[in-house]
Amino acid sequence: MMVGVIGAGAWGTALAITAARGGADVSLWSYDGGIKEFDGVSIPDSVRVTTKLSDLSAADVWLIVTPAAYFRETLRIARPHYNGVPVIICTKGAEYSTGDFMSEVLRAELPECKDFGVLSGPQFAAEVARGVPTGSTLAGTPAARSAGAAALNQLYISESDDVIGTEICGVGKNAVALICGYTSVVSGENERAMIFTRAWGEVVNIGLALGSDVRTFLDLCGIGDLFLSATSPTSRNFSAGMAIARGEEIVGTVEGIFALGGILRRANALGVATPVLCQMHEKLNI
């Protein structure tokens, strides 16, 4: 099996390593030729790093792992090399300017893709790269789920057909993790728990308004990812929230910043009340 991975940051590199461990030949696209290196982890020989998207044209499945802010642009430049294979969206986020989820961006920019899925769950990239047991929700069409599970056979996969619910979980947990990092500095533990619970409830209400299955929010992509990201400084979103509270500089891409703005735009369009998310957006001043 040949797997094409688009995006060579921490998560993209970790997934490339995982696919290679599972027996796949991997083409890992990096816009500048660089990849994320993990301490104590070697890149398998079956991972080929490339700056040419044309090298992914023979892949059996694409894993797209670019930041949400660059997802649309990346699809546009990748489209001429797309050969109709299933696409797995591994980016958790919403487009800041539109509030669109990544599957909606995919439909707009790669309309010829008929089989796509979304991978989401409690996944710290460094642990995945080291081979630590990790579970994820994979939602999509049957063909996409089959291809994604084959490519990532080293992960425990919980399959679903609730694409939008799985995406909302990923977007929402990024936003809530950012908020929880902030409140861990400025609030007492009682208040932090209250804000955590009410903010996640608002995320669930947005999902239900879009037709999501409430059970999705109890799966790995929901409560599993929320538990991991909203309680640990290892999470970039949680640590970024802490940095904002302390007046420190934020380093690197923080999806929670884009996610919070994007999900509020979607809630407003749906007429879903989000008083806690709105209040925390104002306090974070992002």
Residues classed as catalytic: 173
Q: Is 255 left (phi over 0), alpha (psi -120 to 50) or beta?
A: alpha
Residue whose structure tokens are 């660089």 = 34
Residue whose structure tokens are 């409690």 = 122
Strands 135-140 and 116-120: antiparallel
Residue whose structure tokens are 């509270």 = 245
The CA distances from residue 139 to 143, 144, 203, in Å, are 11, 8, 18
The string over 150-187, giving b where at least 16 C-beta atoms fall within 10 Å of a residue's C-beta and e elsewhere, is bbbbbbebbebebbbbbbbbbbbbbbbbbbbbbbbeeb
Q: d(Cα 129, Cα 132) in Å, to the nearest integer?
A: 8
Q: What 3-state DSSP class applies to 266? A: helix
